[in-house]
Amino acid sequence: MKKHIKNNVYWVGKNHWDLRHFHGSEFSTDKGSSYNSYLIKEEKIVLIDTVYQPFSSEFVHNLAKELDINKIDYIVANHGEPDHSGALPELMKLIPNTPIYCTENGIKSLKGHYHEDWNFVPVKTGDRISVGNGKELIFIQAAMIHWPDSMFCFLTGDHILFSNDAFGQHYCSELLFNDLVDQGELWSETYKYYANIVQPFSHLVARKLEEIIQMNISIDCICTSHGIVWRDNPMQIVNKYAEFANAYQENQITIIYDTMYGGTQTIAENIVKGISEADPLVNVKLFSASSSEISDLMLEIFKSKAIMIGSPTVHNGVLYTIAGLMEFISGMKYRNKKAAAFGCYGWHDVSTKTIEKGLKEAGFEIVMPPISANWKPDENVVSNSVEYGKQFAGLLK
């Protein structure tokens, strides 16, 4: 169903209400997601992005109800990832010669995904096309926000920024606009999206935001490729991204563990007790890695000023949930976060060393040597864990 955005600009995307995981099983999408495609109907007709491949037929069918598809003058592919380009093969069967505007890397990505030699037109920052009625689309490369081919485009006259993945959320709502949806849901999904998708490229986000500010364009509306359209005070999300990109943290400490027979869990729970006693105002949170979605854990780490990770020693290493977590955080390029490790062992204390090494390599500052228990924690270990938590909290004040 077409939805009106502003003047001659329409949303023609797909709401995927029952999506529960994205990027394989990596990102849990409790509130679904959307694949936002936009139609500009000025003297020229422009389609910006499409939808995920399983919805190709529905997308092309709906588009054909809105206009004669042969009348599309330009297609803009802001990003080649299949959640936005997936309907191109079906669409291009109908209009094989229509030019597709994208970056040089976009051409590589689209050719790589679809093995088609469509009528690609490479563009770079500052290139522009006229859409008629005195309006232009200006292209802005946004490499690594979040893929090398990513691009934004800006519609003059209407002052709309089409930002593709940037500023988005995996969030589904028929209400479409930021001022209409549940604000708790919107911001929760905005944070989670940044923490999982954009965080590794924070240094580039800061530079890109500066570049957009230097362009001196006034933005009335930001049309993302997932989630809502920012029409009410759209600069609020630009400012929030500036905050996120600057080593974001809250007064939060996150403890994540996995456990075999409850020993590492006992240490974790008593560390929490110690932290809370030492600093009643810090938001200390405790998660079992095996009963949490990894993308939710990444959100909690993103918000934290410090974390602790714990595992028993198994097979001369750590439990696979903790190994997966360490692998995930190793690419996140966190700055200014502190950490420590803990765990239980029977024969050799390997897990805490493995975790500490992984945390250091991921850029965390290790503020205390690990705490570990040989076999099941006894009363001494319990009180030492409380004390350990108190000291950890004290170092962070």
Find residue 345's DSSP bridge partners: 374
Report d(CA 110, CA 355) in Å as an integer: 39
- State yes or no: residue 49 binds ligand FEO (CB under 6 A): no
Please give the single-letter amino acid code of residue 7.
N
Residue in 10, 52, 101, 193 annotated catalytic = 193
First vs last C-alpha separation in the chain: 53
Q: Provide the token pair at 262.
A: 């409850």
Residue nearest to ligand FEO (CB): 81
Instruction: Using the CB atoms, write b or e for 288-307: b if 16+ within 10 Å.
Output: ebeebbbbbbbbbbbbbbbb
Active site residue 232: no
CB of 82 or CB of 263, closer to ligand FEO: 82
Element spanning 132, H or E: strand 128-132
Q: Identify the residue among 14, 16, 31, 84 touching ligand FEO (CB under 6 A).
A: 84
Of residues 16, 31, 79, 390, which one binds ligand FEO by CB under 6 A? 79
Q: Is 83 in the site for ligand FEO (CB under 6 A)?
A: yes
Check: CB of residue 31 under 8 Å from CB of residue 20: no
> How many residues at the interface with ligand FEO, by CB under 6 A?
9
From 79, 101, 171, 189, the catalytic residue = 79
Residue 285 · residue 255 · CB < 8 Å: yes
Question: Of 26 and 387, which CB lies nearer to ligand FEO in the complex structure?
Answer: 26
Residue 315 falls in the annotated catalytic set? no
Q: Is 192 in the site for ligand FEO (CB under 6 A)?
A: no
Q: Dihedral of CA 18/22/24/25: which sign?
A: negative
> What's the min distance (Å) between Cβ of 368 and ligand FEO?
38
Reference 372, options 332, 330, 344; nearest CA is 344
- Nearer to ligand FEO by Cβ, of 109 and 254: the residue is 109
The reply to whether 165 belongs to the active site is yes
Draw the binding track, 148-177, toward ligand FEO (x: CB under 6 A; -: no contact): -----------------x------------
As a whole number of angstroms, the distance between CA 394 and CA 397 comes to: 5
Binding mask 131-150 for ligand FEO (x = CB under 6 A): ---------------xx---
Could you say which of 83, 189, 258, 279 is catalytic? Answer: 83
Which residues, in sequence order, are CB contacts of 36 under 8 Å at separation 6+? 11, 13, 49, 223, 224, 225, 226, 227, 229
Residues 213-242 that bind ligand FEO (CB under 6 A): 225-226
Candidates 42, 49, 81, 258: give the one binding ligand FEO (CB under 6 A): 81
**By C-beta, is 14 or 84 nearer to ligand FEO?**
84
Is 296 assigned a catalytic role? Answer: no
What is the number of residues in the chain?
Answer: 397
Provide the binding-site residues for ligand FEO, judged by CB under 6 A: 79, 81, 83-84, 146-147, 165, 225-226
Give catalytic residue positions: 23, 79, 81, 83, 146, 165, 193, 226
